[in-house]
Structure 1
């Protein structure tokens, strides 16, 4: 194994308790493990790479990582979501939901998304995709292929097919209803269990398994009880979206007689293996104490909720109670720097000041907090013995302004694509901003074609199956009849 040394003007090391900043620092790794972080390494090195004015740091950990061609962006300033066919309608349910993509297209969306994650400095991901445009949930065969894509690109992933017992849909009178299929949910869980047993530790341990039920309101007691038992038996991470909407909270309270977090406590699903996006709507301090007592982690995704005028109240208050935070992207763009920046600003607005939440708190959530949520002391830090998951962020960009503190400059003004190099498990997966083996223009062309197919599928789910082009409103009104024109891929030769 070659011993590789990296140099830059700034290196984020770890002293056993916290991140520390080395000026004119060095990181040396051999194979998949770091052997030195600091300055003036005296041992033999096969190759030195000097990145100059840059910040070398640990790779980001994204535990609600966008694994999709994001359909959430279509709802932005688009009126009532009931009218646009994002969720199932009563008509669509009666006709029988169907897949919007082919099997190959389902796998492609992960290739596109994983490339974006690497491009933005994310080295460990637990992906999330939408079930709205699916016939039901994800499959074993699909994720066997997804594991292959992750291994090919070199992305460290926690994978498993999503499973669920039901799905919400809109009635014609505008009210929300729920369709249940208990047997299908339990069959999905058994497939997820099989995937875990077959793929946990695959591809040189780059792939780990996880249990990923869809959302708390789409799962029955039997499904979650079996999930809890399997999480204990397999020592498997379990992620479950909860406390993310008032409708969800009301439904759980009505059906289960408890708050979402109270119900999860009853089911023994608040454990150190539990990862819970998003934790926004809770029943006060009693609920938060349940999370602390169980040792569960919250996955904070500030950007996707801020778009709808919602926010955690608040990051600093939850942290002060002892809750461990990880970060997630959840939506486009797959940029954790953007989530750190908005997360910092939103927290300070909610807290009415600067004393409870710092820049470092958000950075820690994207690194050490994510590692703690996964039960990994070898990720989220640069230290001897840790995995060689390393990112290099360019500090020369004019948009960053004059440098005082590289982390503050990046969080205040940086972008994910300031990441110019990435090493995962000691393998260089991106250099000079180019993810190895990926043709960016071809990838973007396929994504554009596939996204337009996704947009067309909204017609199938909307009442009356209107022309799909009438379902989406541009920010600026078109001067002529948009519905009479070809999609972007037909008019822009670059697409």
Structure 2
């Protein structure tokens, strides 16, 4: 049990519906790691003797990485100049076939460290070696939505993987760990790596358990030509198999028609927009403005550290803004305020969560302290709100993150992780890479 505590900062960003800026703000955290008050200090309840943490900068919710394969840190840079399908078939999947549980643990641990140092407190992960990935996240103190990935490949049938996920959820529940840090999900890789039968079985199993289904959707034009020819589009296939009837997170969602977007919106599906990965792999640019105009819940994702190649969600905010403006010719297509919202409450909405991505009573105290003593805030905090948010997103970004809490527990102090030896974690990833990519060793 943690002690209740008050946090006081010159600026607090609750990430409410209008993404307001609270000056001289206070956030109260209860003994179980949930927020009990967020707002102006002048309206706060009595502190009642609880300890007070004075923060000289800006306090905001932890960022939400809505689509990642963070355990791939040992594969960073491998096949970096290949298109998506060649990159997967010729480099990544052969290397992952050599991955051991210890390699996945090492990769995920370093991935969590990197994200926490960037202020990312929650990540929606799709990967294998699920128990190792979860253990690494718990060790680092991160929050994770894990969707164990499955395919239909020789020696890797989807039926057994589906049963394993069912067994795990039935044994441990959808959420578990300190501060409910772990949520279990279903991870059918994509429509082009699984038959329709597998998607139908996934939809039924996930619906029975109220679980999120996390799946790659329409990432590149060439990947799912057969599915498009038979069903019209990948979202239409998802509707045919029942996946749109439950909680669904569509990763990438680059090549969608107006009808596809309406279909996702009508069924309440979320989208993880991954501008960095999609641009690097030349997969295309998702129709972000159309998705947002169509009332689709959109969060931001980094994708894996081998396809991005970092886990910096601040960079995704900037890329999302630049690409939205460049593709529409509209300098207001996506503002700093809107990008911040996508990285926090928008990511939570895409995941079907309302207890993260915001600083509000009842939500988990996943918080980030941003320093304002650098060149990015040379004009200070006493500037108009739009300028303050622009300085935060466009100029400051991850380099200004100083302290991070998850469920009220501090996991990063002065820019360094508190629960992990970062140097040792880096060495472990180097050893894993030497095993998985022997030609490069």
Return the TM-score normalized by structure 1. Answer: 0.80
Q: Cα distance, 1:428 vs. partner?
A: 1.1
* SS at structure 2 position matched to 1:247: coil
Are residues 431 and 276 of structure 1, via their aligned partners in 2, closer, same or farther at CA, if it must alter by over 3 Å? same
Structure whose alpha-carbon radius of gyration is higher? 1
Q: Cα distance, 1:251 vs. partner?
A: 2.6
Are residues 249 and 161 of structure 1, via their aligned partners in 2, closer, same or farther at CA, if it must alter by over 3 Å? closer
**1:22 correspondence with 2:22:** yes
Query: Hey, what does 2:366 align to over in structure 1?
Result: 389
Query: Hey, what does 1:460 align to over in structure 2?
Result: none
Aligned-pair RMSD on alpha carbons? 2.4
CA contact (8 A) 1:69 1:447 kept: no
* SS at structure 1 position matched to 2:150: coil
CA contact (8 A) 2:71 2:105 kept: no
Gaps of 5+ in 1: 130-137, 167-179, 457-467, 470-486, 488-495
CA contact (8 A) 1:390 1:424 kept: yes
Deviations along 1:407-431, one digit per CA (max 9) or x if unpaired, are: 2112112232422111111111111
Deviates more, 1:107-116 or 1:67-76: 67-76
**1:146 correspondence with 2:96:** no
Are residues 189 and 294 of structure 1, via their aligned partners in 2, closer, same or farther at CA, if it must alter by over 3 Å? same
Deviates more, 1:183-192 or 1:146-155: 146-155
* SS at structure 2 position matched to 1:162: strand
Aligned ranges 1:122-137 → 2 under 5 Å: 122-129=120-127
Q: Cα distance, 1:64 vs. partner?
A: 0.8
CA contact (8 A) 2:34 2:364 kept: yes
**1:439 correspondence with 2:421:** yes
Query: Hey, what does 1:354 align to over in structure 2?
Result: 331
Distance 1:72 1:216 in 2: 26
Distance 1:272 1:77 in 2: 37
Query: Hey, what does 2:181 align to over in structure 1?
Result: 206
Q: Cα distance, 1:79 vs. partner?
A: 8.7
Query: Hey, what does 2:191 align to over in structure 1?
Result: 216
Deviates more, 1:97-106 or 1:432-441: 97-106
Are residues 154 and 383 of structure 1, via their aligned partners in 2, closer, same or farther at CA, if it must alter by over 3 Å? same
Q: Cα distance, 1:14 vs. partner?
A: 5.0
Q: Cα distance, 1:196 vs. partner?
A: 2.0
CA contact (8 A) 2:113 2:422 kept: no
CA contact (8 A) 1:311 1:346 kept: no
Q: Cα distance, 1:146 vs. partner?
A: 2.7
Deviates more, 1:97-106 or 1:332-341: 97-106
Aligned ranges 1:105-124 → 2 under 5 Å: 105-124=103-122
CA contact (8 A) 1:61 1:327 kept: yes
Q: Cα distance, 1:191 vs. partner?
A: 0.8
Gaps of 5+ in 2: none
CA contact (8 A) 1:4 1:45 kept: no
Query: Hey, what does 2:288 align to over in structure 1?
Result: 315
CA contact (8 A) 1:61 1:122 kept: yes
Aligned ranges 1:234-273 → 2 under 5 Å: 234-254=209-229, 256-271=230-245, 273=247
CA contact (8 A) 2:5 2:50 kept: yes
Are residues 402 and 453 of structure 1, via their aligned partners in 2, closer, same or farther at CA, if it must alter by over 3 Å? farther
* SS at structure 1 position matched to 2:116: helix
Distance 2:274 2:84 in 1: 23
Aligned ranges 1:394-413 → 2 under 5 Å: 394-399=371-376, 401-403=378-380, 404=383, 405-413=387-395
Are residues 306 and 160 of structure 1, via their aligned partners in 2, closer, same or farther at CA, if it must alter by over 3 Å? closer
Q: Cα distance, 1:153 vs. partner?
A: 2.1
Return the TM-score normalized by structure 2. Answer: 0.89
Q: Cα distance, 1:401 vs. partner?
A: 4.9
CA contact (8 A) 1:156 1:424 kept: yes
Are residues 81 and 159 of structure 1, via their aligned partners in 2, closer, same or farther at CA, if it must alter by over 3 Å? closer
Query: Hey, what does 1:327 align to over in structure 2?
Result: 300
Deviations along 1:290-337, one digit per CA (max 9) or x if unpaired, are: 111111011001111122344435211221111110111113311110
Are residues 160 and 240 of structure 1, via their aligned partners in 2, closer, same or farther at CA, if it must alter by over 3 Å? closer
Distance 2:104 2:405 in 1: 27
Distance 2:200 2:70 in 1: 27
Query: Hey, what does 1:176 align to over in structure 2?
Result: none
* SS at structure 2 position matched to 1:253: helix
Q: Cα distance, 1:24 vs. partner?
A: 2.2
